[in-house]
């Protein structure tokens, strides 16, 4: 069983590798490879594990599906959460979910930048579009860009995977471009407020992780901001 984010086709490659090794040993053994991606969020992983929104099982075997349903029975009592599909679709579902969330973040950050220039209130806009049930309120908060171990890695990985099969991912590239630009937005606002000469000033930076309730600074926007402040001759007091 594979639960992490892996390139589409990994399950097939793992199956082939195991079969090849068994063949060299002269062993006849029936086995299956299952894709069972996790959808845990940092800061709430235990709760997400105990009460998953959905349970994706990638397999073509009825026997394996039966075993996986039995395994997940304690987590599937209130309502049907299990979705069964082929292995490659399960692998792509994990990427697609994270890339969709990253896209929503970059889209709202772009809307915030436009709203600022047009004299509109992005918070009012957020409430206005979030009230549409087709859009909803989840992941439409503008901010300083996404970080962490999943979104940046998965967006880039799906771009590379698509390129290998001859497809150019225009939207995913734009998501990355907007996100990288957004991480410099706060420094630009600091320069606009204090002037371009920041040398000798001291700034307090409160909040370093890429999201609340974690200690994870991987790809965090705070790291970009700190580097820019240091290059400008600023002393940073960070918490």
Structure tokens at 128: 């206005």
Collect all residues with Cβ–Cβ distance below 8 Å to 64 and sequence separation of at least 6: 32, 34
Torsion sign over Cα 86, 92, 96, 97: positive
* Helix-helix angle 87-118:10-25, to 10 degrees: 150
Q: Which helix (H) or strand (E) holds 185?
A: helix 185-194
Collect all residues with Cβ–Cβ distance below 8 Å to 212 and sequence separation of at least 6: 43
| Nearest in space to 98 (alpha carbons), one of 15, 179, 216 | 179
**Cβ–Cβ under 8 Å, residues 109 and 119:** no
| Nearest in space to 90 (alpha carbons), one of 58, 62, 118 | 58
Q: Which helix (H) or strand (E) holds 191?
A: helix 185-194
Q: How wide is the angle at C-alpha 205 spanned by C-alphas 199 and 208, nearest 5°?
A: 130
- Active-site amino acid positions: 150
**Ramachandran assignment for 233, one of left (phi > 0), alpha (psi -120 to 50 degrees), beta (any other):** left
């Amino acid at each position: 069983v594979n639960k992490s984010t892996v390139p589409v086709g990994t399950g097939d490659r793992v199956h082939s590798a195991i079969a090849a090794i068994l063949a060299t040993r002269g062993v006849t053994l029936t086995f299956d490879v299952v894709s069972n991606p996790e959808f845990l969020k940092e800061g709430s992983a235990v709760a997400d594990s105990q009460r998953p929104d959905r349970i994706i099982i990638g397999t073509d075997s009825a026997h394996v599906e039966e075993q996986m349903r039995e395994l997940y029975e304690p987590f599937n009592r209130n309502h049907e959460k299990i979705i069964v599909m082929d292995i490659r679709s399960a692998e792509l579902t994990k990427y697609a979910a994270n890339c969709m969330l990253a896209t929503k973040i970059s889209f709202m950050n772009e809307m915030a930048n436009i709203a600022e220039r047009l004299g509109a209130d992005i918070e009012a806009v957020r409430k206005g579009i979030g009230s549409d049930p087709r859009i909803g309120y989840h992941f439409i908060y503008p901010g300083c860009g996404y970080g962490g171990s999943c979104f940046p890695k998965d967006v880039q990985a799906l771009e590379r995977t698509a390129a290998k099969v001859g497809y150019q991912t225009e939207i995913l590239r734009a998501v990355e471009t907007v996100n990288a630009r957004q991480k410099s937005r706060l420094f630009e606002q600091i320069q606009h407020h204090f002037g371009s000469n920041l040398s000798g000033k001291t700034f307090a930076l409160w909040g370093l992780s890429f999201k609340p309730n974690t200690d994870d600074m991987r790809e965090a926007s705070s790291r970009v901001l700190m580097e820019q402040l240091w290059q400008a001759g600023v002393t940073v007091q960070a918490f």
